């Protein structure tokens, strides 16, 4: 009580109210760090019954909205080099460059796992990413599908294997995609913002209450689209 009386004398009731508000905010943050975000490091995808006995066949769907040769030459080979037994890469090209699309089609001669489809770009009818993904889903041959973008770069040849592992015990898989480290304060803020927001929806997925993911790294099964319920898995 002596401490309280001294504090009251020095700062008044306004100071006590401010200190109480700060303690309450600290308590809320501590709760989230321990009981919400704290579940992410210790999460193991082995607490649910397995729905598949073997590694599933996977379709990697990638919408392509420009004549991005850097993706074809630099990032696409990293996806094709994934250490996974059975997968295909479905590229949905949205554009009007026939020469570029023919180059994509010719890739199938060297990489049989590539499937290409084209949506002709008409200025009168804008094509959304959702529409391109819908075409990719219909073009995919396998039940399990992983979606990424032309900007994302797999950091290891086990990326697809880790994503596909989620389908062993669930129908929806969400993964993390960070921002490449660069120079400057703006890059630091972008990386911090991405990590902070990703921690929130990944923590919800760990609690089996997934509500969103990143367009660069997520997946689901075809049956989950039409099914009444679906279970989520975080990678």
3-state secondary structure string across 4-58: HHHHHHHHHHHHHHHHHHHHHHHHHHHHHHHHHHHHCCCCCCCCCCCCCCCCCCE
Confidence of residue 137 (pLDDT cuts 50, 70, 90): very high
Cα 20 from chain centroid (whole Å): 38
d(CA 145, CA 59) in angstroms, rounded, equals 5
pTM equals: 0.78
Q: What is the pLDDT of residues 60-84, one digit of tens each?
A: 999 998 888 899 999 999 999 999 9
pLDDT beyond 90 at 3: no
Structural domain span for residue 95: 58-234
- If asked whether residues 181 and 79 sit together in one domain, one would say yes
Residue 30 lies in a domain: yes
Residues 145-171 have a mean pLDDT of 91
Q: Determine the 3-state secondary structure of 86 from DSSP.
A: coil
CATH code, 112: 3.90.550.10
Q: What is the pLDDT of residues 20-45, one digit of tens each?
A: 788 888 887 777 766 666 666 666 66
At 2 the pLDDT is: 65
Residue 181 lies in a domain: yes
């Amino acid at each position: 009580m002596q401490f309280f009386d001294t504090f009251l004398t020095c700062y008044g009731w306004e100071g006590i109210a401010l200190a109480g508000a700060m303690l309450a905010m600290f308590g809320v943050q501590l709760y989230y760090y321990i009981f919400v975000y704290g579940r992410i490091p210790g999460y193991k995808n082995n607490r649910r019954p397995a729905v598949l006995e073997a590694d599933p066949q996977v379709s990697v769907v990638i919408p392509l909205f420009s004549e991005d040769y850097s993706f074809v030459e630099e990032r696409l080979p990293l996806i094709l080099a994934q250490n996974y037994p059975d997968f295909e890469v479905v590229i949905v090209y949205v554009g009007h460059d026939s020469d570029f699309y023919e180059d994509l089609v010719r890739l199938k001669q060297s990489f049989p796992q590539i499937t290409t489809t084209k949506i002709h770009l008409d200025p009168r009818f804008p094509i959304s990413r959702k529409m391109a993904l819908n075409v990719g889903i219909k073009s995919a041959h396998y039940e399990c599908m992983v979606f990424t973008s032309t900007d994302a770069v797999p950091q290891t040849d086990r990326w697809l294997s880790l994503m596909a592992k989620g389908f062993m015990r669930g129908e929806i898989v969400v993964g993390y995609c960070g921002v490449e480290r660069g120079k400057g304060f703006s890059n630091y803020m972008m990386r911090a913002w991405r990590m902070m927001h990703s921690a929130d929806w990944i923590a919800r997925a760990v609690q089996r209450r997934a509500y969103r993911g990143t367009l660069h790294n997520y997946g689901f099964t075809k049956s989950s689209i039409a099914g009444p319920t679906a279970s989520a898995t975080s990678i």
